[in-house]
């Protein structure tokens, strides 16, 4: 069985997982790719195709066509897209090869749909290993190799309309990063190749038993069937206390309800365990009261939906800027009042920035608290809108100044419910606090699907009747997001009222 570059990169993350991917694909891909994951693949494809325009008139190789590639390489075809190379043990495809006639070598270009922003060091290390794998396979195929380059999106580039590809992409020579690691990568490739030939899962067992839930992959439950669904791995921030987690696991304490009362936990972890054991919420009343009392009326519960564009779609946009296409807002004028709903959804091909801000101005009260869930998101969108629409800066800044994050109640451990399972996402909080309201059954249940649905409408992928249904689905989904906040806020008011009555009694 040949080792592909993708499987080698999975192996570098986790040998167990690479084995599972090859031998138990039905478990590795247990859940179909999420819309978010599919979108990442599509974004990668789009960026790859646009990057080819930097090296025009190339020959696109059919998937898996190593023989065709070899023929074209032999005659020094000037530009090859997606050339395929194989050896006895390995297989890989490159993004772009460009013949350098002066040197008599092929220069390699690996295209990545990312900018050099966050996590640059980790990404560059990953990309160097990615390119090294290709270089070793090409070398074994006798391809004379020149410079090894990385092409990625320029995060500083701001579109003024038509994309300027020479500024949209950066080209970086990675040869000096890749050359020193070639021997190490060759040894890793050998080990990874040998591992995937094994007929049984390699020992020792999966090491994520000692890591927090967020580090575990989809195969964890298969490899560790004895670990309950809600386990010590779900303890809040346990990933940063590996000693504690190891102590619990080594003592055979796996269910969160089995953690001894005298075990050394942080206060938030203690609250989580107590809530799970007692099967009722832990409430830290004083800060919750302060939080709720600071809400000023009319209170606007506001939620945005956006589409992250890797390739800037409109003037003023940089790579990966989000296009704000929808909002839903429920306005409550007093604690017992019924919310008034406002909504906006833009499904034209043009840029929604101006209509979005105009609709927001019409709907949002001039004063009072603006309540969102995960405030860096909505505030960040407003800040970017203000950059693109300087005339609206004052308005958008004033909105941001009034923003309060309802999620703070849960990340700040003011209310800890056993049903949250250590999470603070609205998708976990809503069913626990407001059982009658749910995303279940909706055609759109999370933001990535909303983004892709909008994109399908505006790019004309849907027939008219499908587009109309999709539009309704978007309105329903976003409407529930802001209504969910209203109902969670009401549930919090009820919790406070009940406690006050109990304490007064």
Q: By the criterion CB under 6 A, which residues form the site for ligand SF4? A: 14, 16-17, 206-208, 216-217, 219-220, 223
Residue 448: CB minimum distance to ligand SF4, A: 22
**Residue 106 bridge partners (DSSP):** 99, 145
Residue with smaller CB distance to ligand SF4, 179 or 240: 240
The Cα–Cα gap between 473 and 450 comes to 9
Of 204 and 460, nearer to ligand SF4 (C-beta) is: 204
Pairing of strands 145-153, 90-93: unpaired
Which among 481, 488, 357 has a CA at the least distance from the CA of 417? 488
Q: Which is nearer to ligand SF4, 216 or 453 (CB)?
A: 216
Closer residue to ligand SF4 in complex, CB, 223/484: 223
Least distance (Å) from ligand SF4 to the CB of residue 195? 12
Query: Considering the complex, what minimum distance in angstroms separates the CB of residue 154 from ligand SF4?
Result: 33
Q: Distance between CA 68 and CA 85 in Å, rounded?
A: 10
Residue closer to ligand SF4, measured from CB, 13 or 164: 13
CB of 69 to ligand SF4, least distance (A): 33
**Separation CA 247–CA 258 (nearest Å):** 13
Between 63 and 226, CB nearer to ligand SF4: 226
Nearest distance from C-beta of residue 18 to ligand SF4, angstroms:
9
Q: Are strands 282-283 and 415-416 parallel, antiparallel or unpaired?
A: antiparallel
Query: Closer CB to ligand SF4, residue 156 or residue 194?
Result: 194
Query: In the complex, which residue's CB is closest to ligand SF4?
Result: 208
Min dist CB 217 to ligand SF4, Å, is 3
Residues with Cβ < 8 Å from 353, sequence gap 6 or more? 314, 316, 324, 385, 388, 389
Burial class (CB in 10 A: 0-12, 13-18, 19+), 462: middle
Where are the extended beta strands (E) located within 228-297?
A: 282-283
User: At closest approach, how far in Å is the CB of 192 from ligand SF4?
Assistant: 14
Within a 10 A sphere around the Cβ of 358, how many other Cβ atoms? 12
Q: Which is nearer to ligand SF4, 208 or 323 (CB)?
A: 208
Neighbours of 367 (CB within 10 A): 11
Instruction: Determine phi and psi for 386, rounding to 5 degrees.
Output: -65, -35
Q: How far is the CB of 214 from ligand SF4 (least distance, A)?
A: 11
Specify the DSSP element, H or E, that contains 92. Answer: strand 90-93
Instruction: Round to whole Å and give the CA distance between 230 and 213.
Output: 10
C-alpha to C-alpha distance for 405 and 232, rounded to whole angstroms? 28
Q: Tokens 């976990």 correspond to what residue? A: 428
Nearer to ligand SF4, 17 or 115 (CB): 17
| Separation of CA 391 from chain center | 32
Q: Least Å distance between CB 122 and ligand SF4?
A: 16
Q: Render 167-212 in DSSP notation, one character per residue.
A: HHEEEEE-HHHHGGGHHHHHHHHHHHHHHHH-SSPPSSP-GGGGS-
Minimum CB–partner distance for residue 211 and ligand SF4 (Å): 7
Which is nearer to ligand SF4, 230 or 263 (by Cβ)? 230
């Amino acid at each position: 069985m040949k080792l592909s570059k993708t499987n080698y990169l999975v192996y570098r993350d986790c040998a167990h997982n690479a084995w599972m991917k090859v031998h138990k694909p039905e478990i590795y891909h247990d859940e179909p790719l999420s819309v978010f994951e599919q979108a990442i693949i599509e974004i990668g494809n789009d960026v790859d195709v646009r990057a080819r325009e930097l090296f025009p008139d190339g020959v696109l190789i059919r998937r898996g066509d190593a023989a065709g590639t070899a023929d074209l390489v032999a005659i020094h075809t000037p530009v090859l897209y997606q050339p395929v190379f194989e050896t006895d043990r390995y297989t890989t495809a490159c993004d772009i090869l460009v013949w350098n006639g002066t040197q008599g070598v092929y220069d390699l270009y690996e295209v990545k749909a990312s900018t050099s922003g966050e996590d640059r060091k980790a990404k560059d290390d990953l990309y160097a290993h990615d390119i090294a794998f290709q270089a070793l396979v090409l070398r074994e195929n006798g391809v004379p190799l020149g410079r090894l380059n990385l092409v990625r999106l320029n995060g500083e580039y701001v579109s003024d309309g038509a994309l300027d590809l020479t500024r949209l992409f950066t080209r970086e020579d990675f040869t000096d990063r890749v050359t020193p690691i070639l021997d190490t990568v060759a040894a890793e490739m050998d080990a990874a190749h040998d591992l995937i030939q094994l007929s049984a899962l390699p020992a020792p067992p999966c090491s994520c038993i000692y890591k927090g839930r967020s580090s575990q992959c989809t195969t964890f439950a298969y490899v560790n069937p004895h670990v309950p669904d809600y386990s010590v791995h779900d303890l809040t921030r346990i990933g940063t206390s590996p000693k504690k987690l190891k102590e619990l696991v080594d003592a055979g304490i796996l269910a969160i309800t089995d953690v001894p009362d005298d075990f050394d936990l942080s206060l938030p972890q203690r609250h989580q365990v107590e809530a799970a054991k007692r099967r009722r919420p832990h409430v830290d009343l004083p800060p919750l009261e302060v939080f709720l009392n600071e809400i000023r009326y009319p209170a606007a519960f506001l939620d945005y939906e956006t589409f992250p564009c890797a390739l800037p779609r409109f003037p003023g946009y940089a790579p990966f800027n989000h296009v704000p296409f929808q909002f839903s807002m429920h306005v409550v004028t007093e604690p017992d009042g019924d919310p008034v709903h406002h909504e906006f959804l833009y499904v034209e091909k043009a840029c929604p920035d101006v209509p979005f801000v105009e609709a927001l101005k019409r709907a949002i009260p001039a004063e009072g608290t603006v309540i969102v869930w995960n405030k860096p998101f909505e505030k960040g969108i407003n800040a970017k809108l203000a950059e693109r629409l300087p005339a609206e800066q004052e308005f958008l800044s004033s909105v941001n100044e009034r923003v309060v994050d309802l999620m703070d109640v849960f990340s700040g451990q003011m209310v800890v419910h056993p049903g949250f399972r250590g999470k603070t996402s609205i998708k976990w909080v809503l069913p626990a606090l407001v059982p009658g309201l749910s995303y279940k059954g909706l055609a759109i249940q999370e933001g990535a699907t909303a983004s892709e649905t909008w994109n399908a409408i505006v790019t004309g992928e849907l027939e008219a009747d499908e587009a109309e249904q999709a539009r309704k689905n978007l309105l329903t989904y976003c409407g529930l997001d802001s209504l969910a906040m209203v109902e969670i806020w009401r549930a919090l008011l009820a919790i406070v009222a009940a406690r006050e009555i109990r304490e007064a009694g």
